[in-house]
A = this chain, B = another copy of it.
Amino acid sequence: MTNLPISDDLIAEANAREAAALEDEYGALGRKLERAGIDIDTIKGKVARFSVAVPSWGAGRGGTRFAKFPIAGEPTNIHEKLEDCSVINQLSQMTPRVSPHFPWDKVSDFGALREEAASLGLGFDAVNSNTFQDQKNQAHSYSTGSLSSTEAPTREQAVEHNIECIEIGKQLGSRDLTVWVGDGTNFPGQQDLARSFDRYLDAASQIYAALPDDWRMLLEHKMFEPAFYSTVIQDWGSSILAAQELGPKAKCLVDLGHHAPNVNIEQIVARLHRFGKLGGFHFNDSKYGDDDLDSGSINPHQLFLVFNELIEAELNPRDGFNPSYMIDQSHNVTDPIESMMSSAEAIGQCYAKALLVDREALHLAQEANDTMMAFQALRRAYTIDVAPILAKARVEAGGAMDVLGVYRESRYRDRKAQEREAVGLGAGIV
């Protein structure tokens, strides 16, 4: 781990400047929590063990169908992306795993890539297949869909690509395959809604059959985009039914931006867990559709309520509780490193707040139908400023108290802008 991109001295000096302030805040919060019967160091320990993966593609600037505005120093290959992810983890100490996407991140030697990542303090998380866009020299186009296509050779190609992803994942140390397909329709009648689903299930079961016993297949539902009339796995209902058909290694993955307006996502979390199918999360935020905005930037209270369900699930594991967490955002207007560090902080804060809920008071109030006090049990935890807990945990692990400040001070992006090849204009892939 001698390869970390940011100078440890820089981090240490910056932390030293803020040390007294942190002690004051942490101490005051500790006293406040103690009055509520909570030991702040216990919470800090849990926060220190919490982590969330970052996606390799998230290290690049995102865009829309209208435009993508690149920034100088953007990464253009998996090696540069790993380096950027290493910055995020070094400073935030919360993102030790990278989730790769294929064929985007393909290299000739995956064993070497795994070592490269390790030298940057990183491991690999779920592997992601890509059957929503065509690659040069690809035999069959995904214009008719992939796993649900009417074309048998296309479905086979998609199945084989997923199996290849599993093989790569084994070399990288992954144990999850995330399957999201862009399959769907833009017109009523374009495809038979029932037969499409049958074809999807048939193809998915072939992938499932190739899955090692200790792996999971994470099915990701999405209401719309790129298809705008129907999608084959449109919601958690279709997702869980598919997962049930496939078998116990198939689980459901929740992306916070993939739902209909107004939907109660925290309840979906509770339902998936109730039926043993909660596989993981793609964290982001949204105001309109799959906006892929920074986690907690629009509705942090919803993120807190999701974590509240996760804590409940952990306490009531029923068929087990082991969700995979990843940030999945499109950084259209910010430096991706800054966005992912800020997002990890927002996610970690919601986790910490959910830990602070007085569950005994909550459950007693629920049992007594004391609605106001049940709500207040959540509200009291939500209003607490947990920043000192996260900062303390981070600093103790070698990270930066002020992640954005140290990152800017490091001039990392400026240096990369000198070194790296420029990215062209275009519409955005993410």
Contact = CB atoms under 8 A, between A and B. Distances in A.
A237 interface: yes
A302 to B, nearest CB: 8
Contacts of A142: 67, 69
Contacts of A375: 187-190, 294, 297, 342
Contacts of A132: 66-67
Given A299-B299, A366-B191, A426-B426, A264 B230 contact: yes
Contacts of A335: 372
A10 interface: no
A61 to B, nearest CB: 10
B186 A332 contact: yes
A60 interface: no
Given A24-B32, A374-B187, A288 B192 contact: no
Contact of A226 (B67, B133, B230, B349): B67
Contacts of A300: 301, 382
A397 interface: no
Nearest to A191: B366
A387 B29 CA distance: 13
Interface in A371-402: 371-379, 382-385, 387
A65 B271 contact: no
A425 interface: yes
Contacts of A383: 349, 385, 387
Contacts of A261: 260-262
A334 B187 CA distance: 10
Residue among A25, A300, A375, A383 having the largest count of chain B Cβ atoms under 10 Å: A375
A429 B224 contact: no
A404 B372 contact: yes
| Copies of this chain in its oligomeric complex | 4
Contact of A182 (B67, B238, B312, B365): B67
Given A260-B263, A289-B288, A150 B367 contact: yes
A223 B287 CA distance: 11
A107 interface: no
Given A291-B224, A427-B427, A194 B316 contact: yes
A333 B190 contact: yes
Contact of A133 (B67, B133, B191, B429): B67
A158 B63 CA distance: 21
A293 interface: yes
Interface of A: 21, 24-25, 27-29, 31-32, 35, 62-67, 69, 132-136, 141-144, 150-151, 182, 185-195, 197-198, 223-226, 228-230, 234-238, 240-241, 259-264, 266-268, 270-271, 273-275, 286-289, 291-294, 297-302, 305, 308-309, 312-313, 316, 330, 332-335, 338-339, 342, 346, 349, 362-363, 365-369, 371-379, 382-385, 387, 404, 425-430
